[in-house]
Structure 1
């Protein structure tokens, strides 16, 4: 159960060959830089372009065309059609493979409800990037519009995080770091890409490490990293995140971790609504839903930030407050229900009695909403 809505590594290296006498005498195989993620601990790594595996191919084939084989490495995923993870279903069914047939079968139960939650625990790597891209293709085909990526990751590869983030940014995902989960290192780039970010766990950053670096001096290493950080800053800007995040990363040693506070998450644009996506949605909603809808939604979001997202409030209290505010501002809107604020909560609370909690300046409802525990 989520209890607190907080916004807020010593690296252990084990030489396996040295510990196993049976391996003595075996030839030593040179490390594959592209495969270094399997043992990178809590590092954030960047790989040289020449060593990088090719990005996942575009996955927009017809239903009868096969996808290239991809195996999910250094991570596990589960699929649920519910935001509640404390009941019998928990995190849902384990995702056994990333082929089209398996993904179709995994997401099909979510078609009627129109909501899917994907729990991912593991490293950010090329197979994770392929997974989120393919899930979006299947969700589009099944017309599943509400998508929640329930994330728990200590980090991984910068380039893979950016590929995954660009896919996420085109596919309408809410990123959820629930209580007890973490989003550290390269995971922060994935977090940045969400249309909305719900953070109860810890978000942390540090400096990246370059795989296959040829640097012999600080100046050479800085030159190598300069191009990578330029790409990172461009990525952060297109996702509405302050480039100061990248500058701050540079100051934190790779084996350390700087946990961002709630205030820093808001300051850097990592908390709540993605600013760039918000601008894009405003343009679209102005055309589809009209000026009055956009003005009411703006007023709601301002009130929601001020009245509901208070320090120490648990997620249930935030949900109660948001539901009461939505009623006060006339949401969900009959003309544009899917564009209404917090529409993913409307979906999560289907078939539940919704009774708003009192708010300052708002007429109190008869009782208090009781959302399912452990859910969004």
Structure 2
């Protein structure tokens, strides 16, 4: 039996616990503050707090853009696909005003290729980043655009707004070795014209940070509308809605990494199926049915005969150039839309990189093999 003073102590503790009032959870008033503190969670906020869709045309050159700071993230701009070379990830983008973005992209204008490395959260300032980069890239006619992404996630609504901007402006999304794309980042990944994945992609449930729910039924009702929007977004980007269903089964504090087979099965790896259909429709109108048939046959043969595992990039390109003659390319009517056009082929070949040791060679094995898809027609 416990001594009397122990019983008294326990009784006092019990009375304190019984009389203590539990704090009532309140909706988060400041969505930006919540994003800063959400760690690696995927969060959803009230519609009133969601970032507004960015207007299709931002203020023209010579007029000021609204001031936006890049929060919980960093961005670098490079005109090369290779990050193992001397230039690395490129020049840090310190601000999002028009003059700063113009200066960052200007060196890429001649080559017509830009790679933007982003490491950080998916939030409203990220949506501003991608939309402003697209406006300047359009103005400079930089048609080949790569978003080199490393993100643990962030806000669902911001990811969807950013994704719609990306989908409208022609970006390849790259998750390279050592990088991750978790949680809400997966929605950004979905929007790319092409997705190149060597890093880790993971999913889990979203957390409703502005929720007032006190039961499973109430929480489910709140999330139902959000998931409907997510599924609609995934469908318009050619991604299986099963991704959203699978997310529902993984606790927010956990993570479910997707395998290579699952990424392909869900439509998150490789060519965006919806964009591919759109390009085929455009090419059929411009170049004719015979052109599209020959191009489809070429791409099948190219994958089967040229893209053999272990073959170096120069051999792949040489094989492709030889294969073009068999299928009647370049086409007289649509030379720019022909597969492996002279411009596209030049951009497939990276600048040579001196690898000093075997250790450094394994640190970035895919950097020199990033194939940049041809520009949109």
Distance 1:119 1:338 in 2: 28
The question of whether the paired residues in 1 share the 8 Å contact of 2:317 and 2:345 is answered with no
1:46 is matched with which residue?
A: 44
Determine helix, strand or coil for the equivalent of 2:169: coil
Q: 2:60 matched to which residue of 1?
A: 62
Moved more, 264-273 or 45-54: 45-54
Matching residue of 1:145 = 143
Distance 1:113 1:220, change over 3 A: same
Shift of 1:341: 4.5
Question: C-alpha distance in 1, partners of 2:166/2:233?
Answer: 13
Q: Which residue of structure 1 aligns with residue 125 of structure 2?
A: 127
Q: CA RMSD in A?
A: 2.6
Kindly provide the CA deviation profile for residues 206-234 of structure 1, in whole angstroms up to 9, marking residues without a partner as x: 11111111111111111100000000000
CA gap of 1:44–1:89, structure 2 versus 1, over 3 A, is same
1:88 deviation in Å? 0.8
Quick one: which of 268, 275, 287 aligns to 1:289?
287
Please give the alpha-carbon distance, in whole angstroms, between the structure 1 residues aligned to 2:258 and 2:340. Answer: 25
Give the Cα–Cα distance (whole angstroms) in 1 for the partners of residues 157 and 306 of structure 2.
Answer: 36
Whether the aligned pair in 2 keeps the contact of 1:165 and 1:190 (CA below 8 Å) is yes
Question: What TM-score results when the alignment is normalised by the length of structure 2?
Answer: 0.79
2-structure distance, mates of 1:267, 1:304: 22
CA distance in 2, matches of 1:338, 1:103: 29
TM normalised by structure 1 equals 0.79
Q: For residues 244 and 58 of structure 1, do their structure 2 counterparts lie closer, same or farther at Cα, with a shift above 3 Å needed?
A: same
Bigger fraction of residues in helix: 2
- 2:243, 2:266 within 8 Å by CA — same for their partners in 1? yes
Distance, in Å, in 2 between the alignment partners of 1:326 and 1:96 is 41
Deviation string 1:335-354 (CA, Å, 9 cap, x unpaired) is 5455344668624346979x
1:74–1:122: 8 Å Cα contact kept in structure 2?
yes
Further displaced range: 49-58 or 344-353: 344-353
8 Å Cα contact 2:153-2:185 kept in structure 1: yes
Q: Which runs of no fewer than 5 residues in structure 1 stay unpaired?
A: 1-29, 354-370
Q: Which residue of 1 aligns with 2:30?
A: 32
**2:368 match: secondary structure:** coil
The offset of 1:261, in angstroms, is: 1.0
**Paired residue for 1:256?**
254
Q: Look at both structures and tell me which one has the larger radius of gyration over its CA atoms.
A: 2
CA distance in 1 between counterparts of 2:261 and 2:306 reads 15
Query: Structure 1 residues 57, 281: closer, same or farther in 2, change over 3 A?
Result: closer
1:233 equivalent in alignment to 2:231: yes
- 8 A contact 1:85–1:375 mirrored in 2: no
Q: Structure 1 residues 338, 50: closer, same or farther in 2, change over 3 A?
A: same
Structure 1 pair 210–301 and aligned structure 2 pair: CA distance change class (3 A): farther
Using the alignment, how far apart are the partners of 2:239 and 2:203 within structure 1? Answer: 14
Check 1:49–1:350 CA distance in 2 against 1; reply closer, same or farther (3 A cut): same
Number of residue pairs matched? 327
Shift of 1:333: 3.1
Trace 1:8-27 onto structure 2 (pairs within 5 A): none
Measured against aligned partners, the alpha-carbon deviations of 1:67-86 in whole angstroms (never above 9, x if no partner) come to 10111111111111110111
Aligned equivalents of 1:351 and 1:217: distance in 2? 55
CA distance in 2 between partners of 1:176 and 1:96 (Å): 22
SS of residue in 2 equivalent to 1:373: helix
Contact 2:81 2:350 in 1 (8 A): no
Residue pairs, 1:182-331, within 5 angstroms: 182-304=180-302, 313=309, 317=312, 320-321=315-316, 324-325=319-320, 327-330=322-325
In 1, distance between residues paired with 2:250 and 2:313?
33
Q: Is the 8 A contact 1:208 1:254 kept in 2?
A: yes
**In the alignment, is the contact (CA less than 8 A) between 1:304 and 1:322 conserved in 2?**
no
Rate the CA distance shift 1:247–1:351 in 2: closer, same or farther, 3 A.
Answer: closer
